[in-house]
Structure 1
Amino acid sequence: MREHLHTSQQPGFARRQGRLDALLGEVGTALTVLSGAAHAGRPNPGGKAGPGPQAMPAAEQKHSAGLMRVNHVGEICAQALYRGQAVLCRDEKARQVFRDAAAEEVDHLVWCNQRLRELQSRPSYLNPLWYGGSFALGLLAGLGGTSRNLGFMAETEAQVERHLESHLKDLPAGDERSRRIVEQMRDDEARHRDTAQASGGQVLPRPVKFAMRCMSKVMTTTAYRI
């Protein structure tokens, strides 16, 4: 009787332990991302650091820093969003799509942070808020099923790609290092979008796309300064 009781408790304990481990893992990842302790898996596409920011006019340096801070916030959000989407995704192949994208977003995160330091600037003070909100949004997207979940990723990447294209036009002409970083980010985001679509991503309704653009506008406008 005792043996039967003991074995029947083990699976339940293992499940609870597994969920707790997963939760602690997400908390650990969030702390790593927000503290700036993450490491890139690929070399910085900007190459070796060139002349210091003193080679740029002060106004251009400040503008470049503002744009790269916005891009850094975008990677904070992407990291949290895709990890949140993966949590509730029941399809293992789709879950791997989110994990792979999140891993490359870490590279973007690190590159943007490096460039901010070179420009003698800082990340957004609101990064914990951006991360928490994006993770919650990812969980919400995950409730919509695999095709809508992947569709949300595809639309996110499409909007980010357009956003990065606008930054390439807006960056100061002399800031080639930031430009090379943003170009690589744009190419990666386009590939993430294609992968999500090829994996079965469903086109989102127009009202959802519009709401996503509005939220993105609030984030980019705020992050440029704060």
Structure 2
Amino acid sequence: MLTLPPLTLDKAIAVMDMGLRTVFSPAVASRPYPAAEVAGESVLSDSERKHAAALMRINHVGEVCAQALYSGQALVSRDPANVEALKQASREEVDHLAWCEQRITELGGRKSLLNPLWYGASFGLGLTAGLLGDKWNLGFLAETEHQVSAHLNSHLQELPQADNASRAIVAQMKTDEEQHANTAERLGGGALPPPVKLAMRLASKVMTRTAYHL
């Protein structure tokens, strides 16, 4: 039987605080903004700017989901090393949140209207993965990061050619995601069954297509 480890008041408050800050508060990065190294702002047409903003909104939603997943997974993980790995990944994903949000603003776009929904659903998935045990918890993390990395690679191809600022952000995010996947596998993450991987990809498609518009 799957059981939850003891949930202390401190843990409950921390989980609620994480959710509220992720969804409603501006994220603050601890690392430099990757786009700051890009010389000058590229000139984009209105349609290119709108498209780039929508892609960065999708990426921002992905980071909202990541925060929720890690929070849910860490809450029920019993191995301190795994909890620390999840927390470290979460800290780096906060940078991604801040970078995506800043770029969305620069492009004249907005964040997803459905962020509370994305967070809640992802938190539930994180809890479920964590309850299956640390092997599958880490395996879920690794597979998530592999799929996110592939998704970011597609955005590197899809962003307007002149949008070097967004491309610099996405490239750094992709590097970080690959490192998170490697860490999860090194700590013993198991390979997920093909049907689970397929279900994750299908859910991701629903999210990305919806977030592009909403």
- TM bracket (short chain): over 0.9
Which of 56, 66, 71 pairs up with 1:78? 66
Q: In angstroms, what is the RMSD of aligned CA positions?
A: 1.7
Partner Cα distance (1:143, 1:43) in 2: 36
Residue deviations 1:148-168 (CA, integer Å, cap 9, x gap): 000000000000000000000
Q: Which residue of 2 aligns with 1:5?
A: none
Partner Cα distance (2:138, 2:163) in 1: 35
TM-score, length-normalised on structure 2?
0.94
- Is 1:38 aligned to residue 31 of structure 2? no
> Which structure 1 segments of 5+ residues have no match?
1-15
Displacement of 1:50: 6.6
- Is 1:212 aligned to residue 200 of structure 2? yes
Code of the residue aligned with 2:203 in structure 1: it is: M
Query: Are 1:154 and 1:201, in contact at CA under 8 Å, matched by a contact in 2?
Result: yes
DSSP-derived class of the 1:46 partner? helix
The structure with more radius of gyration: 1
Task: State the identity %.
Answer: 52
Residue deviations 1:39-79 (CA, integer Å, cap 9, x gap): 111011111687568x3100000000010000000000001
Which of 89, 99, 103 pairs up with 2:91? 103
Q: Which residue of 1 aligns with 2:157?
A: 169
DSSP-derived class of the 2:8 partner? helix
Q: How many residues align?
A: 210
DSSP-derived class of the 1:174 partner? coil
- Is 1:130 aligned to residue 118 of structure 2? yes
Partner Cα distance (1:29, 1:157) in 2: 20
Query: Are 1:65 and 1:121, in contact at CA under 8 Å, matched by a contact in 2?
Result: yes
- Is 1:114 aligned to residue 80 of structure 2? no
